[in-house]
A and B are shown apart, each in its own frame.
Chain A
């Protein structure tokens, strides 16, 4: 959806026409869900985070100043909620749940089914390594490469400076590479 259209819909909602907001929920739910699921490793948690993100955004819609894309603003709210979820999980001393991941240690053969298995294993390793990254680096990497935000938008969403965003991404990529190398060498 064009940003100008997004702004029109937000204005309409603020002027008493909440119906116009519904298509924004439809448009941005997939991106928010994807981010939250990869941040928390849990689909159930992601669902709750997306819901709460929209509730909070709607309540404080008047504070959205339009200087950034609406989606970046939503990402900012979602990231905070993911951090809260991370803190809750740490307090409950429960490891992050990685759902529906194939066993990364089985050796694939050479047929087409085996290729698919190999691809799934590769993806599972990447997801696992992502979850093991420090939270700040994980947020920055997901926003940059999964959600394809510009560096400035990553910085805005995370409320950090441009150079800090760049550094988080670089360090995150470095750690991710190390983690993958170790896992691929071990499989």
Chain B
């Protein structure tokens, strides 16, 4: 007789061989085996819940105050936000130190966020005696070649770019060897190397 799919065990529906198997005498454990095992278990460290179940228990417990739950969640979110900020800060928004353009540090600079509406921005820097000025920032990987500015008759260097909304840090590179923060910038931020970057928010 073939076993039915997923069905409970039904002794009345067994064939002769299956019945023989069912009636085969059982091997009984030696006396006291269960007691010995239980005794050994009592000496073992208590079993513990996996961390997921522990968390589920803490947050699912009816004894737990809602304020406590909320405070824990806020704390967790705060920790996550802190970690995120730390990672974002280290991931390359810091500008290159003067004279260090083209080094490996530049390659890791942050890219501007993708997507969204493009905003037209004109960078301007007054340097009538300069031979070249470039704007370098987190939107062009701090690459002077991608930020060459054009000199006007009045000694003002300008470059118009279109950028997605976001927050950018930038500097002006004068004559390929001197970094200057934008004197008209609304916001400046220390670069961690003793200088300041200008901040642009779009």
A interface residues (Cβ-Cβ under 8 A, vs B): 13-14, 16, 18-19, 21-22, 25-26, 29-30, 33-34, 37-38, 43, 46-47, 50-51, 54-55, 58-63, 122-123, 126-127, 141, 144-146, 148-152, 162-163, 166, 169-170, 173, 176-177, 180
CB-CB nearest in chain A for B9: A148
Residue B38 interfacial (CB < 8 Å)? yes
List chain B positions with a Cβ less than 8 A from chain A: 2-9, 11, 14, 17-18, 20-22, 24-30, 33-38, 40-42, 44, 46-50, 53
* B21, A13: Cβ atoms closer than 8 Å: no
A-B contact pairs, 6 of them (CB 8 A): A16-B46, A21-B38, A26-B34, A47-B33, A123-B24, A176-B21
Q: Which residues of the partner chain A approach B6 to less than 8 Å between Cβ atoms?
A: 150-152, 162
Complex Cα gap A14–B45 (Å):
11
Residue picked from A38, A46, A169, A173, most chain B C-beta under 10 Å: A173
Q: Is the CB of B50 within 8 A of A25?
A: no
Kindly list 19 other residue pairs between chains A and B, CB separation below 8 angstroms, not including A47-B29, A47-B30, A173-B17.
A14-B47, A14-B48, A14-B49, A18-B46, A18-B47, A21-B41, A22-B41, A25-B38, A26-B38, A30-B26, A34-B26, A34-B27, A43-B30, A55-B41, A55-B44, A62-B48, A146-B22, A150-B9, A152-B6
User: Which of B7, B26, B46, B49 is A151 in contact with, Cβ under 8 Å?
Assistant: B7
Partner of B28, one of A30, A61, A166: A30
- A180 contacts across to B, CB distance below 8 A: 17
Residues of B within 8 A of A60 (CB): 47
Residues of B within 8 A of A126 (CB): 20-21, 24
Check A25 against B37 for contact (C-beta < 8 Å).
Answer: yes
- Residue of B at shortest CB range from A22? B38
Complex-state Cα separation, A180 to B16, whole angstroms: 12
Q: Which of B3, B35, B40 counts the most chain A CB atoms within 10 A? A: B3
List residues of chain B with CB within 8 A of the CB of A141. Answer: 21
B22: chain A residues at CB < 8 Å are: 145-146, 148
Pairwise interchain contact A33-B33, C-beta atoms closer than 8 A: yes
Known A55-B44, A150-B6, A162-B5: A33·B28 in contact at CB below 8 Å: yes
Nearest-neighbour CB distance to chain A for B36, whole angstroms, equals: 8
Whether A33 lies near B27 (C-beta < 8 A) is: yes
A26-B34, A47-B33, A145-B22 are known contacts. Are A58 and B5 too (CB-CB below 8 A)? no
Shortest A99–chain B CB gap in Å is 10
Contact pick for B2, options A14, A162, A170, CB 8 Å: A170
Q: Which of B22, B47, B49 has the most CB of A within 10 A?
A: B47
Q: Which 7 A-B pairs have the closest CB atoms?
A: A37-B27, A33-B29, A145-B21, A61-B47, A22-B38, A29-B34, A62-B49
